[in-house]
Structure 1
Amino acid sequence: MTARIFQRPKNAMQSGKALLDQWILEFAPNEARRPDPLMGWPGSADTQNQVNLKFASLDEAKAYADKHGILATIHATPPRRLKLQAYADNFR
Structure 2
Amino acid sequence: MRARIYKPAKTAMSSGTAKTKQWVLEFMPTAARGIDPLMGWTSSSDMNSQVRLYFDDLEAAQDYAKDRGIEAVVTKAKTRKPNIRPGGYGDNFATDRKGAWTH
Q: TM-score, normalised by structure 2?
A: 0.76
Which structure ranks higher in relative contact order (CA pairs < 8 Å, sequence separation ≥ 6)? 1
CA distance in 2 between partners of 1:57 and 1:81 (Å): 20
SS in 2 for 1:60: helix
Q: Deviations over 1:16-59 (max 9, x none)?
A: 11222100000000110010121111111110010000000000
Question: Which runs of no fewer than 5 residues in structure 1 stay unpaired?
Answer: none
Q: TM-score, normalised by structure 1?
A: 0.84
Corresponding residue of 1:40: 40
SS in 1 for 2:24: strand
CA distance in 1 between partners of 2:59 and 2:22 (Å): 11
Q: Which amino acid aligns with 2:80?
A: R
Please tell me the root mean square deviation across aligned C-alpha atoms, in Å: 2.0
Question: Which runs of no fewer than 5 residues in structure 2 stay unpaired?
Answer: 84-98
Distance apart, 1:79 and its partner CA: 2.4
Corresponding residue of 1:60: 60
Q: Which runs of at least 4 in structure 1 moved beyond 6 Å after TM superposition?
A: none
Which protein shows a greater Rg?
2
